[in-house]
C-alpha cells in the first residue's frame, strides 16, 4: 500500500548537511520531502551509535590487547551499524547540493557563489566541532564538496550519475569504506536529486520492492565476505566496507518501504525532527556525550553497552527537543545560522 505524501509549508525545517527539501526561494514555496527527512534522521541515529565510542575515547587509557574477541554488542555494531550509515549521510549531502543550486537559480543568485559560501561556512563549523570530536566527518564533506562543485553545477545529470557510479565503485573496490567514497557518493546524490528521486521515494512503485529483493540477495555474500575478513571492524577492511555500502542501500529501501505503510506515522514522529535539525543534533550530541564520557571514565573501559544506551537516550531526547523547537521556530539553531550565512542575509526564524 502506498501512502499519499504530506508536505510541510515552506517555513518549518532546516537546511542541513543532509538537506531533504528544496530551499524556498523568494517567489515560489518549496516542497519538503518527508521521507528524506526520515532517512536523514535514521542516518543520524546510526552515525551516533558508531561515533560515540570515538567521541568518549572508549578504552584509550587501557593497554592494547592483541587477539581479543569483540563482545556481542561490538559484533552487532560491526555487522549492522558500522559503515552502514555514513554512505546514506554522504549521498544525501550530494542531494543538498542540487537543492541549493536550484534554489540559487530561482533567487537569481550565482549557484557557484552560494554553494561555495555554504561549504566554507560548513568547514568553519566542522573545525570548531573537531575540537570536541576530532574524527568528525563534516570537514571532509566541506572540502570534497568544494572539489566537486564545478562538476555538480556544469555536468548533465546523466554524466554526473555515470561518474558517481564509477567513482563510488572504484573507491569501494580499492579501499572499502572511507573518505575516498565521498566524491562518488556526492555525485550520485546530486544526480539522484536532478532525476527526481526525492519525489519518487514519497510514492514508490513496485520497482522499489524489486530493488530491495536484489540488494537483500547481494547482502548475503557481502556479509559472508566480511565475516571471513580479518580485523572485525569493517571501517578498516575492504570487504566490510563493501558490505556496509550494500547494506546502506538495503536500509534505505527498507525505510522507504516502511514509509509506504502505516509505519510512516511513528517513523516520522521519531525521526523527522532529527532529520530537520540534523546539523544541530550532530554537533549537539558530541557536546553532550563527551562530558558524560569524562565523568563515567569511559577511557578506562571497553564495555560498549553503556555507550549504546547513552546514545539512544540522547537521540530520543534530541527528537523530543527538536519537535518542541520546530513548533515555534522555522529552523534548528545551527541550521538557521548556516542558512543566513549561505544566503548572506538574515532569514526569519520564528514561525508565524
- pLDDT in the model for residue 351: 87
C-alpha 19: how far from its chain's center?
9
Q: In this model, does residue 304 exceed pLDDT 90?
A: yes
Which residue, among 108, 199, 204, 99, has the nearest Cα to 153 in the 3D structure?
Answer: 99
pLDDT for 273 beyond 90? yes
Confidence of residue 66 (pLDDT cuts 50, 70, 90): low
Residue 1: per-residue pLDDT: 38
List of residues 6+ apart from 295 with CB closer than 8 A: none
Backbone dihedral angles phi then psi of residue 329, each to the nearest 5 degrees = -120, 155
Q: Given this model, what pLDDT does residue 142 score?
A: 97
How confident is the model at residue 214, as a pLDDT? 97
Neighbour-count burial of 344, counting CB atoms closer than 10 A to its CB (0-12 exposed, 13-18 middle, 19+ buried):
exposed
pLDDT of 6: 36
pLDDT category of residue 67 using cuts at 50, 70 and 90: low
- pLDDT given for residue 278 in this prediction: 95
On the CB side of 264, CA atoms within 13 Å amount to 20
Average pLDDT over all residues of the chain = 89
**Could you tell me which of 84, 18, 133 has the C-alpha nearest to residue 241?**
84
pLDDT at 27 over 70: no
Residue 350 φ then ψ, to 5°: -70, 140
| Euclidean distance between CA atoms 89 and 136, whole angstroms | 13
Which of the residue ranges 1-5, 68-72, 175-179, 190-194 has the most confident prediction, judged by mean pLDDT?
Answer: 190-194
* Cell numbers that stand for 200 in this block: 519518487
The model's pTM? 0.89
Separation between Cα atoms, residue 187 and residue 158, nearest integer Å:
11
19 vs 296, higher pLDDT: 296
Q: How far is CA 202 from the centre of its chain?
A: 18
Express each pLDDT in 132-153 by its tens digit.
Answer: 999 899 999 999 999 999 999 9
Are residues 92 and 40 in contact, defined by beta-carbon separation less than 8 angstroms?
yes
Q: Pick from 44, 128, 52, 45: which is nearest to 93 by CA?
A: 44
Residue 25 has pLDDT above 90, yes or no: no
Under a CB-based contact definition with an 8 Å cutoff, are residues 24 and 342 in contact?
no
- Which of 110-114, 236-240, 242-246, 250-254 is least confident? 236-240
118: confidence class by pLDDT, cuts 50, 70, 90: very high
Average pLDDT over residues 174-193: 94
DSSP 12: S
Instruction: Provide the percentage of residues in the chain whose pLDDT is more than 90.
Output: 80
Domain parsing of the chain, residue ranges: 38-63+90-203+260-343
pLDDT at 107 > cutoff 70: yes
Mean pLDDT check: name the lowest of 86-95, 211-220, 225-234, 341-350: 225-234
**Cell reading at 99:** 537543492
Burial 218-239 (b: 16+ CB within 10 A, else e): beeebbeebeebeebebbbbbb
**Residue-level pLDDT at 30:** 53
Q: Select from 316, 337, 326, 265 the least CA-distant residue to 48.
A: 316
Mean pLDDT of the 14-39 span: 58
User: pLDDT grade, residue 14 (50/70/90)?
Assistant: very low
Amino acid at each position: 500500500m502506498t501512502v499519499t505524501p504530506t508536505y510541510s509549508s515552506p517555513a518549518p525545517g532546516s537546511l542541513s548537511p543532509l538537506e531533504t527539501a528544496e530551499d524556498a526561494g523568494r517567489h515560489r514555496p518549496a516542497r519538503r520531502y518527508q521521507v528524506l527527512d526520515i532517512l536523514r534522521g535514521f542516518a543520524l541515529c546510526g552515525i551516533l551509535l558508531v561515533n560515540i565510542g570515538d567521541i568518549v575515547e572508549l578504552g584509550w587509557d587501557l593497554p592494547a590487547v592483541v587477539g581479543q574477541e569483540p563482545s556481542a554488542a561490538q559484533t552487532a555494531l560491526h555487522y549492522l551499524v558500522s559503515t552502514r550509515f555514513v554512505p546514506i549521510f554522504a549521498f544525501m549531502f550530494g542531494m543538498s547540493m542540487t537543492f541549493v543550486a536550484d534554489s540559487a537559480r530561482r533567487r537569481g543568485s550565482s549557484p557557484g557563489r552560494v554553494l561555495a559560501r555554504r561549504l566554507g561556512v560548513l568547514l568553519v563549523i566542522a573545525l570548531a566541532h573537531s575540537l570536541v570530536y576530532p574524527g568528525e566527518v563534516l570537514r571532509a564533506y566541506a572540502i570534497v564538496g568544494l572539489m566537486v562543485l564545478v562538476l555538480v553545477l556544469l555536468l548533465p545529470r546523466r554524466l554526473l550519475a555515470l561518474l558517481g557510479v564509477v567513482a563510488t565503485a572504484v573507491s569501494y573496490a580499492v579501499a572499502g569504506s572511507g573518505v575516498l567514497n565521498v566524491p562518488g557518493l556526492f555525485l550520485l546524490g546530486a544526480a539522484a536529486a536532478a532525476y527526481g528521486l526525492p519525489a519518487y521515494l514519497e510514492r514508490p512503485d513496485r520497482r522499489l520492492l524489486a530493488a530491495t529483493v536484489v540488494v537483500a540477495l547481494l547482502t548475503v555474500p557481502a556479509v559472508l565476505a566480511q565475516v571471513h575478513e580479518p580485523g572485525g571492524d569493517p571501517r578498516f577492511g575492504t570487504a566490510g566496507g563493501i558490505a556496509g555500502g550494500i547494506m546502506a542501500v538495503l536500509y534505505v529501501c527498507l525505510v522507504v518501504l516502511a514509509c509506504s505503510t502505516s509505519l510512516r506515522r511513528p517513523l516520522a514522529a521519531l525521526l523527522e525532527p532529527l532529520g530537520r535539525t540534523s546539523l544541530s543534533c550532530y554537533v549537539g550530541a558530541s557536546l553532550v556525550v563527551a562530558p558524560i564520557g569524562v565523568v563515567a571514565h569511559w577511557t578506562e573501559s571497553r564495555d560498549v553497552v553503556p555507550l549504546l544506551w547513552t546514545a539512544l537516550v540522547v537521540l530520543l531526547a534530541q527528537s523530543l527537543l527538536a519537535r518542541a523547537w520546530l513548533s515555534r521556530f522555522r529552523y534548528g539553531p545551527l541550521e538557521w545560522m548556516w542558512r543566513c550565512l549561505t544566503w548572506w542575509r538574515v532569514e526569519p526564524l520564528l514561525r508565524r
